């Protein structure tokens, strides 16, 4: 299986409507929810985070509890030059910057950062679901 087959078989999503609305407002991430009605699944694209959409009730049987990211927004989650990563440690935070190819710091961090800042704003990475 090549890189693109792996990527096409995964979907990004959020479970928190506040993080989802924030990422839409600050970074332009477009999302949708899935509605299951009479064994058919429909996509409801969230165009405006108004009061009604923030109150989607995942306990209702026709709503799914995930806010999926549209494919056209997936590029937003690729590391960008100037991103700041933070790893939390018992003795304090460890920082690194992304130079467009890798995270660069005084130490080596094999894992993705726990916190990402982009343009001085917190950046929330989505969770990943395999199709």
Cα dihedral: 119, 94, 80, 111 (round 10) = -140
CB 20 within 8 A of CB 14: yes
pLDDT at 35: 74
The length of the chain is 131
pLDDT at 29: 94
pLDDT at 60: 60
pLDDT at 70: 93
pLDDT at 83: 94
Taking only the tens place, the pLDDT of each residue in 61-95 is 556 678 899 999 999 999 899 999 988 877 777 88
pLDDT at 90: 79
Its pTM surpasses 0.85 = no
**DSSP labels for 69-104?**
EPGGGGGGGS--TT-EEEEEETTEEEEEEE-SSSEE
pLDDT at 61: 58
What are the tokens at 109? 């961090």
Ranges in the chain, pLDDT < 50: 1-7
């Amino acid at each position: 299986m090549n890189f693109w087959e792996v990527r096409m078989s995964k979907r990004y999503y959020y479970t928190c409507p506040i993080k989802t609305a924030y990422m839409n407002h600050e970074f332009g991430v477009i999302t949708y929810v899935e509605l299951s009605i009479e064994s058919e699944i429909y996509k409801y694209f969230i165009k405006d985070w108004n009061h009604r959409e923030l109150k989607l009730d995942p306990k209702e049987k026709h709503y799914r509890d995930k806010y999926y990211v549209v494919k056209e927004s997936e590029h937003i989650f690729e590391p960008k030059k100037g991103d700041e990563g933070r790893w939390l440690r018992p003795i304090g935070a460890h920082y690194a910057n992304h130079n467009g190819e890798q995270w660069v710091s005084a130490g080596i961090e094999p894992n993705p950062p726990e916190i990402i800042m982009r343009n001085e704003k917190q950046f929330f990475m989505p969770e990943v679901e395999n199709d």
